[in-house]
């Protein structure tokens, strides 16, 4: 039998009411609070990044295929031919094989990998900037043209009033979807008329639209600038034929496959006069801002680990001092210093595991309550969301548990060295 573990278990379960018992409870509470904060912060940051990313990808797609210039403007496009070999079925295979290149421990490697999924949807789009005139108010706007292949699933979730645009083969729709922000500023409601002024060759051109629906995505930068119309309206304004569009929006199954699929499309699928660009590259500032949240997560994790380590070191030193007589007796019976240190490390592991258990219980309960009742709210204008979303990942929670246990135990090895400084003769005499 492992006598160190046996003694540690007896000491842990046979603790009487004392000052040491209070210190142990404080250590357990500190571990539990640190663990629950780490779980909540990890879930909140992951949920926040996922929700914002899904909104951006839902509005724009994952990959844009446009003209060959990498400096294509966000607000307007040069026309490209709609009749392409890859349209409407961009990729027939469900998964794509690609070469993954990288460096591991100073050595470069090349290995064959497969994506988790493929392309889920492909649709055409076109952009045209103009000025809305309504109720003696004006507002700059970018019209995004939607074709018959447009996937309205995303917009359904954010439609506040009215209905989505309907597609008729013979008649170009005059309907327009505007954001709640635009509707409030221009005092517009569903079925209200408005005019959009375009400048073409220094000559203003006016077109009449009717508000068919009002949406709100929470992405203020897009809600304040964009509206949805029939793509044929933009084709008429630009003097394009029905086979000319601004580009193609590609939706993929798994966001982790974004770069491999984008590279595959650009190098292996597209003709030389077309260019494929991910939305992360097109709106780099927003995704860099999201990436900064990882730094916040690391800082929070580091601070919580430090709190747990300090409390456990304090508890361990008090336990060692309280058990001075036991240490002296074990040394007199022939126990090694390392064997006695293991007793206290086992005891510390018991405290840490108990704290981790309660920390998981509290953290996961808070995440569940937030997901259910959304009691933590946010300023939508600054954070693009009106509540704090949570995304609990099993593997992340498992790594946090194992990491906390191992890191704290490693830091406890040094203070456990105090055992070696205790003389068995003095310890036995000490009462």
**DSSP per residue over 71-84, as a string?**
T--SS----EES--
Q: What is the pLDDT of residues 387-405, one digit of tens each?
A: 889 999 999 999 999 999 9
Between residues 97 and 241, which one has the greater pLDDT?
241
Pick from 36-40, 263-267, 337-341: least confident: 337-341
Confidence of residue 14 (pLDDT cuts 50, 70, 90): low
Beta strand pairing call for 137-146 and 159-162: unpaired
Give Cα separations from 266 to 67, 93, 221 (angstroms).
12, 16, 28
- Asked if residue 125 lies in contact with residue 145, where contact means CB atoms within 8 angstroms, the answer is yes
Instruction: Compute the distance between CA of residue 34 and CA of residue 356 in angstroms, rounded to an integer.
Output: 9
Sequence-distant (6+) residues with CB within 8 A of 330 are 7, 339, 340, 343
Residue 387 pairs in a beta bridge with 377
Beta strand pairing call for 226-230 and 247-252: unpaired
Pick from 115-124, 405-414, 416-425: least confident: 416-425
Helix or strand run (H / E) with residue 229: strand 226-230
Between residues 32 and 237, which one has the greater pLDDT?
32
User: Which two structure tokens, joined as six digits, stand for 35?
Assistant: 């663990």
Question: Is residue 127's pLDDT more than 50?
Answer: yes
Pick from 112-116, 180-184, 229-233: least confident: 112-116
Whole-structure pTM value: 0.80
Pick from 31-45, 109-123, 186-200: least confident: 109-123
User: Up-side HSE of residue 381: CA atoms within 13 Å toward CB?
Assistant: 3
Q: For 15-61, what is the HEC assignment?
A: CCCCHHHHHHHHHHHHHHHHHHHHHHHHHHHHHHHHHHHHHHHHHHC
Confidence of residue 355 (pLDDT cuts 50, 70, 90): very high
Pick from 143-152, 155-164, 228-237, 372-381: least confident: 372-381
Instruction: Compute the distance between CA of residue 98 and CA of residue 115 in angstroms, rounded to an integer.
Output: 8
Q: What is the pLDDT of residues 279-323, one digit of tens each?
A: 888 888 888 888 888 888 889 888 999 988 988 888 888 888 777
Expressed in angstroms, the distance from the first to the final Cα of the chain is 30
Other CB atoms within a 10 A radius of the CB of residue 159 amount to 15
> Looking at residue 424, what is its pLDDT?
67
Pick from 104-108, 215-219, 264-268, 338-342: least confident: 104-108
Pick from 9-23, 220-234, 346-360, 377-391: least confident: 9-23
> Looking at residue 71, what is its pLDDT?
47
| Mean pLDDT along residues 141-165 | 89
As a whole number, the mean pLDDT across the chain is 83
């Amino acid at each position: 039998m492992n006598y160190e573990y046996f003694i540690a278990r007896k000491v842990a379960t046979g603790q009487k009411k004392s000052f040491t018992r209070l210190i142990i409870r404080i250590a357990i509470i500190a571990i539990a609070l640190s663990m629950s904060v780490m779980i909540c912060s990890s879930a909140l940051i992951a949920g926040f990044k996922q929700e914002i990313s899904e909104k951006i990808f839902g509005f724009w797609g994952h990959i844009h295929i446009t003209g060959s210039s990498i400096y294509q403007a966000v607000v307007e496009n040069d026309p490209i031919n709609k009749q392409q070999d890859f349209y409407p079925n961009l990729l027939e295979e469900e998964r794509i094989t690609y070469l993954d290149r990288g460096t591991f421990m100073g050595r470069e490697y090349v290995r064959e990998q497969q994506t988790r999924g493929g392309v889920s949807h492909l649709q055409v789009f076109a952009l045209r900037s103009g000025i809305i005139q309504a109720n003696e108010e004006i507002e700059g706007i970018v019209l995004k043209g939607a074709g018959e292949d447009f996937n309205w699933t995303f917009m359904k979730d954010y439609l506040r009033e009215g209905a989505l645009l309907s597609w008729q083969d013979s008649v170009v729709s005059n309907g327009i979807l505007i954001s709640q922000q635009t509707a409030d500023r221009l005092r517009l409601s569903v079925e209200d008329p408005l005019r959009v002024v375009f400048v073409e060759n220094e000559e203003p051109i006016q077109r009449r639209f009717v508000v068919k629906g009002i949406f709100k995505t929470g992405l203020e930068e897009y809600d304040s600038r964009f509206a949805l119309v029939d793509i044929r309206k933009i084709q008429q304004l630009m003097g394009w034929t029905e086979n000319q569009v601004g580009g193609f929006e590609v939706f993929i199954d798994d966001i982790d496959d974004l770069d491999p699929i984008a590279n595959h499309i650009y190098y292996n699928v597209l003709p030389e006069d077309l260019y494929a660009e991910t939305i992360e590259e097109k709106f780099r500032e927003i995704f860099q801002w999201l990436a900064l949240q990882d730094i916040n997560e690391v800082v929070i994790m580091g601070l919580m680990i430090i709190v747990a380590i300090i409390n456990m070191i304090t508890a361990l030193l008090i336990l060692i001092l309280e058990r001075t007589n036991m240490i002296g007796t074990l040394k007199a019976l022939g126990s090694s210093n390392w064997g006695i240190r293991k007793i206290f490390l086992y005891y510390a592991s018991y405290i840490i595991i108990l704290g981790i258990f309660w920390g998981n219980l509290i953290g996961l309960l808070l995440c569940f309550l937030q997901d259910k009742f959304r009691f933590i709210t946010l300023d939508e204008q600054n954070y693009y969301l009106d509540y704090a979303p949570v995304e609990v990942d099993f593997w992340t929670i498992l790594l946090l548990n194992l990491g906390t246990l191992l890191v704290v135990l490693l830091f406890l090895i040094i203070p456990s060295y105090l055992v070696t400084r205790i003389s068995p003769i003095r310890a036995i005499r000490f009462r």
